[in-house]
Amino acid sequence: MSDELDRVSPREGAHARARDRKVRGPKVVAVNPGLRKLALHLAEKREGRLEPRTERIVSRIRAIPEGFVRTYGDIEPGAPRLVGRILATTHEGLPWHRVVHSDGSLAKGQRQRALLVAEGVPMRGARVDLRRARIQSD
């Protein structure tokens, strides 16, 4: 291969070497940093691995016992929207219905309410009674 590279210009040789290298990790091209993070997250899911922060959030969601809830902010205080994104994109049998808004309102309406009532979570009207059902942060 070095003989072939000697016959081409240095620039073409560099391109050939770069093309021949094995690419490690998911190849993601996105200009927007938020889209890049989402694309990396989805690529890691396809490969069967999750980044450490995602793993931590998933384990906190799995740790919510039946009959109790936690808020998005309880799970990840600095990034409650990240918790929502992970719940929306991670399909690993998570108890998604045990995660509610900080005021006790439900993100998924009647479907979520039915699952929580079946587990015995105390409700106040259309909201979860957080004083009785909330498990405090770690």
Q: Tell me 26's DSSP state.
A: -
Is residue 100 a contact partner of residue 133, using CB atoms and an 8 Å limit? no
Distance CA 35, CA 44 (A): 14
Q: Residue type for 30, please?
A: A
The tens-digit pLDDT sequence of the chain (138 residues) is 555 545 555 556 555 555 555 445 555 555 677 777 777 767 766 666 677 888 899 999 999 999 999 999 999 999 999 999 999 987 778 999 999 999 999 998 899 999 999 999 999 999 999 999 998 765
Q: Where are the alpha helices (DSSP H) in 7-79?
A: 10-20, 33-46, 52-62, 72-75
Report which secondary-structure segment, H or E, holds 114: helix 109-118
DSSP state of 65: P
Domains in the chain, start-ordered, CATH in brackets?
Answer: 1-49 (no CATH), 50-138 (1.10.10.10)
pTM higher than 0.85, yes or no?
Answer: no
Specify the pLDDT at position 117: 96
